[in-house]
């Protein structure tokens, strides 16, 4: 998470689930975005509505830690076609330990009505 922006931060939770983050801030500052879910559009049959399920379905593991997300083999891209949608902002999930101020901030974003969103 302290690495250069645009790189993957992959870590293990509960000793069994990988989670993928994209580092978004300057190197040396712990700033990243957790991928909690995605809507499969091609070549994915497994569930992707949760960070662990997403990583399992896409075979993302800690070997991708530090991987450049602008590379040819593992990257984030814009959709081929754009569509209109509404973004919902809600408090994050499972961060009660962060204290009331941080736990209640609207730092979780998703497409309204999307059936692939994890824990609404």
**19 confidence band (pLDDT: 50, 70, 90):** very high
For residues 80 and 36, give the distance between their C-alpha atoms in angstroms, rounded to a whole number.
22
Residue 84 exposure: Cα atoms within 13 Å on the Cβ side: 0
Burial class, 84, CB count within 10 angstroms (exposed 0-12 / middle 13-18 / buried 19+): exposed
63: helix, strand or coil? helix
pTM of the model: 0.85
Domains (range + CATH), the chain: 1-75 (3.10.300.10), 84-115 (no CATH)
pLDDT of 74: 92
pLDDT of 31: 93
Q: What average pLDDT does range 83-110 have in this prediction?
A: 86
119 or 117, which is more confident: 117
For residues 24 and 114, give the distance between their C-alpha atoms in angstroms, rounded to a whole number.
24
Strands 32-34 and 87-90: unpaired
């Amino acid at each position: 998470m302290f690495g250069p922006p645009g790189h993957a931060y992959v870590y293990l939770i509960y000793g069994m689930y990988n989670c993928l983050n994209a580092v978004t801030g300057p190197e040396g500052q712990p700033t990243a975005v957790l991928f909690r879910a995605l809507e499969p559009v091609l070549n994915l049959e497994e569930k992707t509505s949760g960070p662990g399920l997403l990583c399992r379905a896409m075979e993302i593991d800690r070997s991708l830690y530090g991987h450049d997300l602008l590379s040819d083999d593992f990257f984030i891209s814009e959709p081929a076609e754009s569509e209109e949608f509404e973004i919902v902002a809600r408090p994050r999930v499972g961060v009660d330990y962060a204290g009331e101020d941080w736990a209640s901030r609207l730092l979780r974003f998703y497409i309204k009505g999307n059936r692939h969103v994890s824990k609404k």
